[in-house]
């Protein structure tokens, strides 16, 4: 890959070329002694990173007094690192306290109060610009931002690496206004109707800024796109649970100057704010904000859409018939590009009257009220009309529209703004919001029940009357309705919702009163329509009513070792000591949770029956101080010393998926890299590990236990064999297995352990729930992927030539291709004929099959295992397979006289 570190003179190209932009290429720039000041052929463009006002950077009006386009408002100098952020990974980010946090303290997802946003005018300051972050904000140090690098690679003739310094010095800069809109704008309305999979944006999930940077086609032309390329993929530096944030676009859009794709490094004349992509980002006008990747690291030209997790499982509008529950098991639906969102749809909202604004009706005879708000469309389309109705759509009034964006088209040829060429006169694409208003007589407002607005674009697409609800709650754009309340001599106005968890809005009020918002009449009852009452979720009580003890954090921490393990679930304290022997996951599972909050693991893994058992172990509640400490979490102790052992029983360790190896149509080996090449897995023979990840579709955390096929002494790598249970028309598939199958290579997955009540120590000696037992023969009964724990023990026994223990393995499957680890099992049997007896049986064998046929049942067990009285007490039966197989095996063995003490279910 070419590394660009010298200024390059760009060649001029024919204006007739389809990807030729209107602006000329720039000559090589000259760089002054300090990177904060640069000169582009005759125009001084000093950077400022503090305050922006009408005189920031180049004063365009001084050069052209006749220009009238808006410049950026002045930013607030009083912003600082807020108290909420001080103990988060975003402690380096200065923010405005007026922003409304939509997802708690962290990550930072915010919108401005609608009135404040509207009052700032056409251009939004960085202070009030909405923010969509998926995780911690990358910390680009001020002194190093010009060294920040990103690559242009993939299906190109000349891949190269570019620093921010190179981007500024070697390419013509442009500046133009762009409105960015989150695809979730107005999602709170959808969440009121039915909870979607997204958090609750109000109507201020949009903002407009003046962006300065380099048009993407210039970079792609330098790289030389190869024939067959159809897409361009962007990846940022945001480190997230599901890998880096990335998404793709169609290449012909990226090469079209009318689409305006920009690689930006300034916002309103300033260096990018950390929340907005410092030091370099993508800005894609007319499309949802999720396509404008921040903290840019890669531009990759490809022949297919991205397989990035966030490209597939975010920013989609699934058919409204798909429920949140069904979406969990529809991976192919998520991957269908027909449901991916690119261009924004037409939308509008009313800023004034504001929510809960009150107008007096006294002395208003003949007065008017100026109703006003914003509208936007997507894909470069222009909003051509905005209409207001006071009678629920029977009649409409045409509002006035102002297009501040058009004022930039009047700039003189060659005019510069914030160091970039302001050349919009040739382009008719509309990339910004517009403002509408209408003076309405107070008498008409006083006599109506509501004020509604809708917008239309130049393709005659108009906002729909009713909501199109979908799983992710995106692209919500029905008519925006404000209810008018008559209260004594006043009018009070009520917006549909308030953002985040803020109460208020007519939709919430109607829903609580039992109204059906989707009845086509905004919740008003029609005829004898029954009230819609939500059935409350049934909760299992996990506490004792008469327990009043308050437990301090010090008391809890005293019980985090090998004696009397206490643990916390939903702020309640439980003593796991009485269940150490009976716990299916072994005592290690309980000790692993001792002294900790085990809510996530317990609620994710355990059945309803397990939850019903909890009152028996309930001993008290955390006191207020302890709850605060648990909620805030223990600070992680950072160390440069690499850990020798990967698995930890009290904390999760991350393994990075490095390879997927297909074994059969529904089985794969997932290979994970440990933290370093010499790190030992640390899993005793016969024990298991916990796997935690976030389900790709539902976003729910999923935790399951697996037995890897790697040896416990293995270093640097972890291999897990998984049979993937896909959805079928008859039944839902496996939530964990399908989620794991969707994890892309390069993404990390969490592991914890070891757990399990059984451990093989060698030479026939094992422990069960901590008690030693000597075994002469293991009888191993398995089916399907249940072979993995069996294989782990069998391999350990056969690996030691001095181990006298014998093994009988009965492996049941449907067809020959279902036999997992067959080569490995057969190899162990062939090398140890005196100690290993391996039998495969199939229920649906083909004609050539020479092994056993039929299910594993009483006849087979009598012949191969025998009755317990015939065998003696030195055999131990290990069983692992599907639930139905385990139940039938248990019953059959009981009928042969085997007792539970001699049966161990993995």
Binding-site residues, please? Answer: 182
The annotated binding site for Mo-molybdopterin is made up of 182
Q: What letter does residue 477 receive in the DSSP assignment? A: -
3-state secondary structure of 831: helix
Burial class (CB in 10 A: 0-12, 13-18, 19+), 43: middle
State the Cα–Cα distance between residues 239 and 758, nearest whole angstrom. 38
Nearest 5°: phi and psi at 823?
Answer: -60, -45
Distance, in Å, from the CA atom of 403 to the CA atom of 68, rounded to the nearest integer, reads: 12
DSSP structure class, residue 25: P
3-state helix vs strand vs coil in the chain, percent to 5:
20, 30, 50
Q: In the 8-state DSSP scheme, what is residue 847?
A: T
Please enumerate in sequence order all residues whose Cβ is within 8 A of that of 629, keeping only pairs 6 or more positions apart, or say none: 553
Tell me if residue 56 is catalytic: no
In Å, what is the CA distance from 496 to each residue of 180, 188, 483? 22, 9, 8
Q: Distance between CA 626 and CA 623 in Å, rounded?
A: 5
Contacts of 384 (CB under 8 A, 6+ apart): 456, 457, 458
- At 808, give phi and psi (nearest 5°): -110, 120
Report whether 303 contacts 360 (CB < 8 A).
Answer: no
Burial (Cβ within 10 Å: 0-12, 13-18, ≥19) of residue 177: buried
Is 315 an active-site residue? yes
Which one from 185, 315, 347, 476 is the annotated catalytic residue?
Answer: 315
Number of neighbours of residue 609 by Cβ within 10 angstroms: 8
What does the alpha-carbon distance between residue 670 and residue 655 come to, in Å, rounded to a whole number?
11
What does the block give as tokens for 531?
A: 């009230």
β-strands 149-154, 131-132 pairing: unpaired
Q: How far apart are CA 416 and CA 39, in angstroms?
A: 12
Which one of 56, 67, 182, 434 is the catalytic residue?
182
Beta bridge partners of 162: 150
CB 222 within 8 A of CB 162: no
From the list 416, 382, 241, the residue with the least C-alpha distance to 313 is 241
Of 254, 285, 71, 290, the residue nearest 178 (C-alpha): 285
Rounded-to-integer distance, Cα 205 and Cα 184, Å: 7
> Residue 787's CB: how many other CB atoms inside 10 A?
28
| Neighbouring C-beta atoms of residue 368, cutoff 10 Å | 14
Q: Minimal CA–CA distance to 268: which of 208, 214, 211, 213? A: 211
Is 766 designated active site? no
Q: How far apart are the first and last CA of the chain?
A: 51
Give, for 252, the enclosing helix (H) or strand (E): helix 251-254
Chain position carrying tokens 């012949």:
863
- Give the whole-angstrom CA distance, residue 904 versus residue 906: 6
Closest Cα partner for 632 from 604, 597, 600? 597
State whether the Cα torsion 169-171-177-181 is positive or negative: negative
CA dihedral 351, 352, 353, 354 (to 10 degrees): 50
Q: Which of 47, 96, 275, 314 is catalytic?
A: 314
For 602, list phi and psi in degrees, rounded to 5.
-65, -50
Q: For residue 701, what is the enclosing H or E element?
A: strand 701-706
Query: What residues act catalytically?
Result: 182, 314-315
């Amino acid at each position: 890959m070419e590394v660009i570190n010298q200024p390059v003179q760009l060649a001029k190209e024919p204006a007739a070329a389809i990807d030729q932009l209107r602006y000329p290429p720039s000559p090589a720039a000259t760089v002054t002694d300090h990177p904060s000041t640069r000169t582009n052929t005759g125009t001084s463009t000093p950077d400022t990173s503090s305050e922006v006002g009408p005189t920031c950077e180049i004063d365009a009006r001084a050069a052209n007094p006749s220009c009238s386009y808006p410049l950026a408002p002045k930013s607030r100098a009083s912003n600082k690192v807020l108290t909420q952020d001080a103990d988060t990974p975003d402690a380096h980010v200065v923010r405005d306290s007026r922003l409304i946090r939509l997802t708690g303290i962290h990550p930072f997802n915010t919108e401005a109060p609608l009135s404040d946003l509207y009052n700032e005018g056409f251009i939004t300051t960085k202070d009030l610009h909405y923010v969509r972050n998926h995780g911690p904000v990358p910390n680009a140090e001020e002194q190093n931002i010009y060294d920040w690098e990103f690559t242009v690679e993939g299906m190109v003739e000349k891949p190269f690496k570019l620093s921010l310094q190179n981007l500024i010095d070697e390419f013509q800069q442009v500046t133009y206004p762009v409105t960015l809109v989150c695809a979730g704008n107005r999602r709170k309305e959808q969440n009121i109707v039915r909870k979607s999979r997204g958090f609750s944006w109000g109507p201020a999930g949009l903002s407009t800024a003046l962006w300065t940077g380099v048009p993407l086609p210039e970079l792609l032309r330098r790289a030389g796109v190869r024939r067959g390329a159809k897409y361009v993929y962007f990846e940022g530096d945001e480190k997230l649970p599901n890998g880096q944030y990335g998404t793709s676009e169609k290449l012909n859009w990226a090469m079209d100057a009318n689409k305006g794709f920009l690689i930006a490094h300034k916002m309103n004349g300033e260096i990018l704010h950390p929340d907005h992509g410092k030091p370099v980002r993508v800005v894609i006008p007319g499309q949802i904000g999720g396509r404008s990747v921040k903290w840019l690291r890669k531009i990759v030209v490809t022949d297919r859409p991205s397989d990035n997790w966030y490209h597939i499982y975010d920013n989609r509008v699934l058919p409204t018939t798909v429920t949140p529950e069904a979406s969990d098991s529809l991976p192919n639906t998520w991957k269908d590009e027909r449901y991916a969102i690119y261009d924004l749809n037409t939308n509008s909202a009313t800023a004034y009257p504001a929510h809960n604004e009150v107008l007096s009706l006294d002395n208003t005879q003949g007065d008017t009220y100026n109703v006003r708000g914003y509208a936007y469309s997507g894909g470069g389309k222009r909003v051509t009309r905005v209409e207001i109705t006071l009678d629920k759509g029977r009649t409409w009034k045409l509002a006035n529209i102002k297009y501040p964006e058009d004022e930039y088209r009047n700039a003189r040829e060659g005019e510069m703004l914030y160091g970039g060429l302001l050349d919009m006169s040739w382009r008719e694409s509309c990339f910004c919001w517009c403002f509408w208003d209408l003076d309405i007589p107070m008498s008409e407002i006083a006599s109506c029940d509501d004020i509604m607005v809708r917008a239309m674009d130049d393709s005659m697409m108009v906002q729909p009357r009713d909501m199109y609800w979908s799983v992710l709650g995106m692209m919500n754009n029905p008519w925006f309705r404000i209810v008018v309340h008559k209260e004594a001599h006043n009018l009070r106005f009520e917006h549909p919702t308030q953002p985040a968890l803020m109460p208020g809005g007519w939709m919430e009020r109607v829903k609580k009163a039992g109204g059906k918002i989707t009845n086509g009449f905004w919740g008003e009852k029609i005829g004898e329509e029954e009230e819609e009452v939500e059935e409350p979720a049934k909760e299992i009580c996990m506490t004792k009513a008469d327990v009043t003890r308050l437990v301090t954090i010090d008391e809890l921490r005293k019980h985090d070792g090998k004696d009397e393990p206490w643990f916390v679930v939903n702020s309640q304290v439980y003593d796991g000591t009485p269940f150490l022997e009976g716990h299916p996951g072994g005592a290690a599972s309980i000790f692993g949770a001792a002294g900790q909050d085990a809510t996530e693991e317990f609620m994710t893994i355990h059945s309803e029956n397990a939850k019903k058992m909890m009152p028996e172990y309930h001993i008290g509640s955390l006191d207020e101080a302890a709850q605060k400490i648990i909620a805030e979490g223990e600070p992680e102790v950072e160390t440069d010393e690499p850990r020798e052992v990967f698995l930890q029983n009290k904390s999760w360790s991350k393994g990075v998926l490095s390879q997927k190896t297909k074994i059969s149509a529904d089985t794969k080996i997932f290979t994970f890299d440990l933290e370093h090449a010499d790190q030992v897995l640390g899993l005793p023979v016969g024990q298991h590990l916990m796997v935690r990840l976030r389900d790709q579709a539902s976003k729910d955390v999923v935790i399951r236990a697996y037995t890897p096929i790697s040896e416990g002494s293995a270093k640097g790598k972890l291999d897990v064999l998984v049979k993937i249970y896909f959805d079928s028309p008859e039944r839902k598939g496996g939530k964990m297995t399908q989620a794991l199958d969707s994890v892309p290579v390069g993404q990390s997955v969490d592991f914890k352990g070891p757990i399990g009540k059984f451990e093989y120590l060698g030479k026939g000696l094992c422990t069960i729930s901590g008690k030693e037992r000597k075994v002469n023969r293991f009888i191993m009964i398995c089916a399907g992927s249940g072979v993995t724990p069996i294989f782990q023990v069998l391999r350990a026994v056969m690996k030691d030539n001095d181990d006298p223990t014998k093994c009988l393995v009965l492996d049941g499957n449907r067809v020959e291709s279902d036999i997992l680890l067959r080569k490995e099992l057969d190899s162990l049997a062939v090398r140890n004929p005196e100690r290993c007896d391996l039998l495969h049986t199939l229920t649906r064998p083909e004609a050539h099959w020479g092994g056993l046929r039929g299910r594993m049942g009483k006849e087979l067990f009598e012949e191969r295992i025998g009755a317990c009285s015939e065998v003696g007490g030195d055999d131990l039966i290990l069983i692992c397979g599907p639930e139905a197989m385990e139940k039938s095996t248990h019953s059959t063995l009981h009928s042969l006289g085997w007792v539970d003490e001699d049966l161990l279910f993995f």
